[in-house]
Amino acid sequence: MELLNKNICFDGEQRIYQTQSQTLKGPTKFAVFIPPQALNGQKCPALYYLAGLTCTEETFIIKAHAQRLAAQLGLILIAPDTSPRGDAVAQGDSWDLGQGAGFYLNATQAPWAEHFQMESYIVEELYPLLIQELPIQAEAIGVFGHSMGGHGALTLAWKYPEKFKSVSAFAPICAPCECPWGEKAFSNYLGQDRIEWAKHDATQLLLTKGPLFDEVLIDQGTDDQFYSQLNPEKYQQACEQVGQKLSLRFQKGYDHGYYFIQSFIDDHLQFHAIQLQK
């Protein structure tokens, strides 16, 4: 872990690190907010935030304004990049494929498979590394995210409930098998077998594995310009079908951007703080 940058923030530290990832086969960056409690030697709960399309490890830490309450609650915030990067890494022909659009899965198709292993990077490489290197309570780690990252949070939580003890999302892609963003990404990264696609679809995972968490929190803006891609009602119906408690809150007038996230970030941090204390 090479420390690239460190700034004092609400008596904690906002850091950016770089590592040479074996999984992604190249350098990758991630941001970590260390609350003051952790700087003073206390082990703290941690939250992974997975960002959306076109974002980097800096998007959340600059735009979400999460550090103030995280410092009060004693939460470590971890924000990985959204994809592998570099000249040797395949790039798509548009903003919603390739670099900046890793979709938090392991690609199986060329040219993506060589580097695009974001699922394994987060849960098999970054997760144990940070438990080893940072004052994290290993039994108190949650995950949340926005848009593509909301998809990542919901899917990784259901795939790895032994790692993540709480989950929430802002405007997640709830049924990627049934929207253009998901169809484009899945067909390129995973091929044409829709059975494989379903293994990375939050709604399908929920229907297959059933309820795994005490509660899931999702916020969705009613004026979201990408609403047709997101399908929160399909996820809500699946939760009702299997008996998973869901708090799906439709926020009137809010769009898809970070002013929306800023407005409700405190609710999500408090939600995770409560869930991770259980």
pLDDT per residue as tens digits for the range 70-124: 999 999 999 999 999 999 999 998 999 999 999 999 999 999 999 999 999 999 9
Per-residue pLDDT for 253 more than 90? yes
Strands, DSSP E only, in the chain?
2-9, 12-21, 26-34, 44-50, 76-80, 136-146, 167-170, 216-221, 246-251
Contact 201, 175 (CB under 8 A): yes
Contact 125, 23 (CB under 8 A): yes
Contact 67, 12 (CB under 8 A): yes
Structure tokens at 56: 């980097």
pTM of the model: 0.97
Q: What is the 3-state secondary structure (H, E, C) of 43-65?
A: CEEEEEEECCCCCCCCHHHHHCC
Reduce the DSSP state of residue 117 to 3 states and report it. strand
pLDDT at 278: 87
Contact 175, 84 (CB under 8 A): no
Return the domain boundaries, the chain: 2-276
- Euclidean distance between CA atoms 170 and 98, whole angstroms: 22
Domain range 2-276, its CATH number among 2.40.30.170, 3.40.50.1820, 3.40.50.2000, 3.90.1150.10: 3.40.50.1820
Q: Which residues belong to the active site?
A: 147, 224, 256
pLDDT per residue as tens digits for the range 215-245: 999 999 999 999 999 999 999 999 999 999 9
The residue type of 240 is E
- Euclidean distance between CA atoms 149 and 162, whole angstroms: 20
